[in-house]
Amino acid sequence: MTSDTKLDRTNWPIAAAMIQYPGTLPDGRSTQDQSAEEWSATLADVSDAGFTELDPTDGWLRIADLEPSRLNEFLGVVADHGLTIPAVSTARKNLVDPAHGEAHLAYGHRLLDTAAGIGAKAVSFGFFGPLNEAQKKALWFWTVQGERNPDDAGTWNLAVERVRDLGRHAADLGLEISLEMYEDTLIGTADGAVRLVTDVDLPNVKINADLGNLIRLHRPVEHWQTMMEKVAPFAGYWHVKNYTRIEDETTGAVMTAPAPLEFGLINYRTALRMALAHGFRSALLVEHYGGDGLSVSATNRDYLRRILPRPETHA
């Protein structure tokens, strides 16, 4: 896809997420050490589900840490399955982590170089860290309190500095950076996300408007449409997923559960049109937790194909 490619429902890049596939195998090995045949067995699932794009997602495979020969081997497997990689996401590599933030920043620069080298157009970063032990034991990890970013000027300024550093590098490579909204981080609200990208002030630094990360919380949250109105002008590479949400106004109880994209709380027909009105033309990533998440993601992809612009009304 070139910068002047006209996108519509027939060719919009919609990538499969790899969140169903862990980075550590049952035998203790890392996916980094798998053979090409083993990678192929996994990607066969993705292509069999009808996908033509995937995001390897570094929770599954850290492509930036593969030796050149191994990266070429992986890319060969990707091509063999008729897949392309429009964008790459980082997961739980908090750019302002007090202990590991500098290492995550260095890794981010390696990933930008790798992404550009394989023809990807965007990289997603965030400020959320690894799951704690209680979250790992929970049925749904978001029902347990996770890591919180410090709320101070020093942390904010460090985030702006590091994202700007990555953003300038990305611009030199012709890449977009997208910052993933996530609870209790510096961009855990729409206002925080808009403020951060505004402070960074680079045209290629966008917001990954993953509102599903917020509406699934068992606590009060801003209405999804209000959040989308705020972030739509800044929308970039976008992780999309949905949840049902029940709020009991009498007791204050909130319950949520994953749902296919078209059946959850967020009306993605409306959300997508809001982003398109502001010139959104980045790749989409479909996710789903629980059950056969890959197959639900495939239904999410098909839903998006129905609601993206028709060929005669190019974005």
pLDDT digits (tens, 9 = 90+) for 55-112: 999 999 999 999 999 999 999 999 999 999 999 999 999 999 999 999 999 999 999 9
- Between CA 95 and CA 126 the distance in angstroms is 7
Mean pLDDT of 147-165: 97
CATH code of 40's domain: 3.20.20.150
Q: Does residue 172 belong to any structural domain of this protein? A: yes
Q: Does residue 9 sit within a domain?
A: no
Instruction: Note the pLDDT of residue 315.
Output: 47
Residue 94 lies in a domain: yes
For 281-297, write each residue's pLDDT tens digit. 999 999 999 999 999 99
Domain count, the chain: 1
Kindly indicate the confidence band of residue 314, based on its pLDDT and cuts at 50, 70 and 90.
very low
Question: Which tokens in the block code for residue 35?
Answer: 């053979």
- From residue 67, give the alpha-carbon distance in Å to each of 62, 72, 315: 11, 9, 38
pLDDT above 70: percentage of residues in the chain: 98
pLDDT of residue 5: 79
pLDDT at 244 over 90: yes
Residues above pLDDT 90, as percent of the chain: 97
Whole-number CA gyration radius for the chain: 19
pLDDT of 312: 77
Q: How is 196-226 classified by DSSP, letter by letter?
A: HHHHH--TTEEEE--THHHHTSSS----HHH
Position 164 in a domain: yes
306 contacts: CB under 8 Å, gap ≥ 6: 9
Residue 40, in any domain of the structure:
yes
Residue 3's pLDDT band (boundaries 50, 70, 90)? low
Tens of pLDDT, residues 161-190: 999 999 999 999 999 999 999 999 999 999
Mean pLDDT computed over 303-315 = 84
**Assigned domain for 3 exists:** no
Query: Would residue 214 count as lying in a domain?
Result: yes
Whether the pLDDT of residue 4 is over 80: the answer is no
- Host domain of residue 274: 14-313
In a domain, 88, yes or no: yes
